[in-house]
Amino acid sequence: MIQKTSTSAKTHPSVSYRSYPSFSTQSVHAGEPHVNPYHSVPTPIVQSATYTFPNTDALIHFMEARETLPPSFREYGRYGNPTVRVAEEKLAALERGEDALLFSSGMAAITLTLMTLLQPGDHLILTLDTYRRTRAFCMTFLRRWGVDVTVVNPAAYDDLEHAITPRTRYLFSETPTNPFLRVLDLERVVEIARQHHVRVIIDSTFATPYNLQPLTFGVDLVVHSVTKYLSGHNDLLAGVVIGNRETISLLREAQGTFGALVDPGAAYLIVRGLKTLALRVERQNANAWILAQYLEEHPKVRRVWYPGLPSHPDHDVAVRQMRGFGGVVSFEIAGTAEDARSFVDALTIPRLATSLGGVESLVTIPAIMSYYDASPEEKKAAGITDQLVRLSAGIEDVDDLLADVEQALAVVRG
**pLDDT exceeds cutoff 50 at 7:** no
Cα angle 352-355-361, degrees, rounded to a multiple of 5? 55
The answer to whether the CB of 226 falls within 8 A of the CB of 104 is no
Please report the sign of the dihedral spanned by the C-alpha atoms of residue 345, residue 349, residue 355, residue 357.
negative
pLDDT in tens, 119-177: 999 999 999 888 989 999 999 999 999 999 999 988 899 999 999 999 999 999 999 99
* DSSP for residue 284: H
Residue among 221, 245, 272, 271 at smallest CA distance from 95: 221
What is the set of active-site residues? 78, 131, 203, 228
The second-level CATH assignment, the architecture, of 23-274 is: 3-Layer(aba) Sandwich (3.40)
| Amino acid found at 192 | I
pLDDT in tens, 174-210: 999 999 999 999 999 999 999 999 999 999 999 999 9
Q: pLDDT at position 21, please? A: 52
* DSSP for residue 50: B
**pLDDT exceeds cutoff 50 at 2:** no
Residue among 248, 252, 294, 261 at smallest CA distance from 407: 294
Q: Write out the residue limits of the CATH 3.40.640.10 domain(s) in the chain.
A: 23-274
* Rg, C-alpha atoms of the chain: 22
- Helix extents (H) in 126-202: 132-136, 143-144, 157-163, 186-195
| 117 Cβ contact list (under 8 Å, min separation 6) | 169, 170, 247, 250
Average pLDDT over residues 299-307: 98
| 387 Cβ contact list (under 8 Å, min separation 6) | 302, 332, 333, 334, 335, 336, 337, 339, 340
Distance, in Å, from the CA atom of 410 to the CA atom of 414, rounded to the nearest integer, reads: 9
pLDDT in tens, 66-115: 878 777 777 888 988 999 999 999 999 999 999 999 999 999 999 999 99
| 272 Cβ contact list (under 8 Å, min separation 6) | 42
Q: pLDDT at position 35, please? A: 84
| Angle, helices 106-117/245-258, rounded to nearest 10 degrees | 110
**pLDDT exceeds cutoff 80 at 20:** no
The answer to whether the CB of 204 falls within 8 A of the CB of 183 is no
Mode of pairing for the β-strands spanning 221-225 and 168-174 = unpaired
Average pLDDT over residues 249-264: 95
The answer as to CATH 3.90.1150.10 being correct for domain 277-410 is yes
**Collapsing DSSP states into helix, strand and coil, what is residue 332?**
strand
**What's the whole-number average pLDDT of the chain?**
92
Q: pLDDT at position 320, please? A: 97
| Amino acid found at 150 | T
How many beta carbons lie within 10 A of that of residue 360, not counting itself? Answer: 17
Q: pLDDT at position 1, please? A: 37
Residue among 288, 276, 146, 138 at smallest CA distance from 206: 288
**pLDDT exceeds cutoff 60 at 252:** yes
Please report, for residues 124, 149, 168, 356, the alpha-carbon distance to residue 162 in angstroms, rounded to integers and kept in the order given: 13, 14, 11, 34
Average pLDDT over residues 245-263: 95
Dihedral pair phi/psi, residue 229, rounded to 5°? -65, -35
> Per the omega criterion (within 30 degrees of 0), is the bond before 299 cis?
no
Mode of pairing for the β-strands spanning 239-243 and 221-225 = antiparallel
| Amino acid found at 184 | L
Please report, for residues 31, 74, 180, 321, 328, the alpha-carbon distance to residue 271 in angstroms, rounded to integers and kept in the order given: 9, 21, 30, 27, 23
Predicted TM-score (pTM) of this structure: 0.90
Q: Write out the residue limits of the CATH 3.90.1150.10 domain(s) in the chain.
A: 277-410
Residue among 329, 302, 294 at smallest CA distance from 385: 302
